Amino acid sequence: MKRCFNLFITTVLFLLPVMGNAMNLSGYCDALLKNAATQYPAGAASSAYYRNCYQLADKQLNQIYRRIVRYIKTEAVTENKYLSTDDAKNWVHHFRNAQRAWIKFKEIECNQAAPYLMAGGSGAGDAAPACLAEITLLRSQKLKRDFSSLF
């Protein structure tokens, strides 16, 4: 019975991202933001959850990022009389550099450092994907807060 239940949960977690646009990302990943900092549950279902949550969070972050760059390039200059076209170009350049640096940080933090937090524990294999999902969700939240007029 337990095996059937685990198979059911794993199947549901794999299918959730396929259901795509109707899914509320923050609702799906809320548990991760509440629990990942203190514990990484183990097992096939949690591995699928973390991977799916990261894929969804990464997709959302890319959409947010593209919206912000488009805003800076096309709307920011007209909305802010103190911002020149050259300022907007510089802003996009620095924003891209900041995002690239954040990606490097995320990859090192999650793929190299986070697994040591759970070394020897049953959740060690889930540490990296859980970290990737959590950090990506937090980055999205920060960008949405920084550019709240867009979201």
Task: Please report the DSSP string for 89-101 in residue order.
Answer: HHHHHHHHHHHHH
CB atoms inside a 10 Å sphere around CB 135:
21
- pLDDT band, residue 142 (cuts 50/70/90): very high
Question: What whole-number distance in Å separates Cα of residue 8 and Cα of residue 18?
Answer: 16
Strand, coil or helix: 142: helix
* Tens-digit pLDDT profile for residues 87-99: 999 999 999 999 9
Q: Which residue has the higher pLDDT, 10 or 145?
A: 145
- Judged against a pLDDT cut of 60, whether residue 23 lies above it is answered with no
Distance CA 73, CA 64 (A): 14
Interval 32-53 mean pLDDT: 67
Rounded distance, CA 60 to CA 62, Å? 5
- How far apart are alpha carbons 64 and 132 in whole angstroms? 17
Average pLDDT of the segment spanning 65-72? 97
For residues 54 and 133, the answer to whether their CB atoms sit within 8 Å is: yes
Q: Closest by alpha carbon to 95, among 146, 150, 151?
A: 146
Contact 128, 44 (CB under 8 A): no
Predicted structure pTM score: 0.73
Residue 5's pLDDT is 35
Q: Report residue 150's pLDDT band, with 50, 70 and 90 as the boundaries.
A: very high
